[in-house]
Structure 1
Amino acid sequence: MKHLLDRLVAAWHRRDFWVKAVSFALVGVINAFIDLGVFLVFYDWIGVPLVASNVLAWAVAVSCSYIMNSFTTFGRESGGKLRLRDYLKFVVSGIAGVTAATTTLVVLSLYLPVLTAKLVSILVSFVVNFSLSHFVVFRRSGDGGVAG
């Protein structure tokens, strides 16, 4: 058991690709609740239209995601510091994720309940956002974004 723990700690320090993916997913779970909560407030409680509610929820969640990922998943690459330039790159790259998520939400909401469509759209967003974060936003100079 100690050997496994030592290996996990070493992988965390190296920030291997799969460890980052798991960390990003854990941050993503927290952000999914933030995204969903904000979405439901705007859509169900306030009555804001579907797409606008989704974009507003994304704006809150992407800010939370940048902060959490800067200190955890990509802490080594960011030096554990928040930078306006990195935040703006994160937001701009997140536009691809919100576009994919919104497209998924709108199309699936024609066939599935809105809540189900929203949950699927969050998964689509995860794949797009992790790929861009890993290979573009938090890429260390000279490594092409590929770790371990």
Structure 2
Amino acid sequence: MVGTITKSIILKLNNQEYGANIEQIRSIERLEEIVSLPQTSDFIKGIINLRDNVTPIIDLRTRLGMEETEPTEQTRVLIANVRDVQVGLIVDEATDVIDISSEVVEDAPDLVKGVDYKYIKGVAKLVDRGMLLLLDLDYVLSMDEINEVQQVADE
């Protein structure tokens, strides 16, 4: 039996490659000026106006418990659909789109290199890339945080 194929975008955080389902990604943008917002969670960096849509911006590094860094020329914002809310996810780089067969994906161990396992959907064992952590973007934000982000976008 042949496994199902999922298209995944490859992104980098802290020199580690991750995959995310391309179906949740609407576009990849360069980092532009972010309007800061008071009294929001640390990982919510603010908002941008993207094609007349106010889009909350989340630092995926901070969200996953990594150290925050200064943006570089390679820094990108993945415009993603997270539980029906459009958000921008700041990543160090977005490098590729690849096909991943379900046959090479295993469940994630409870702790993967310091990233809370609840954000990890699985681990793909790829011949050409080694192990690739697959992010579950639906769990990058809790329902309370989605409500917070939604309020930010609506203001």
Q: TM-score, normalised by structure 2?
A: 0.26
Structure whose alpha-carbon radius of gyration is higher: 1
Q: TM-score, normalised by structure 1?
A: 0.27
Larger % of helix: which? 1
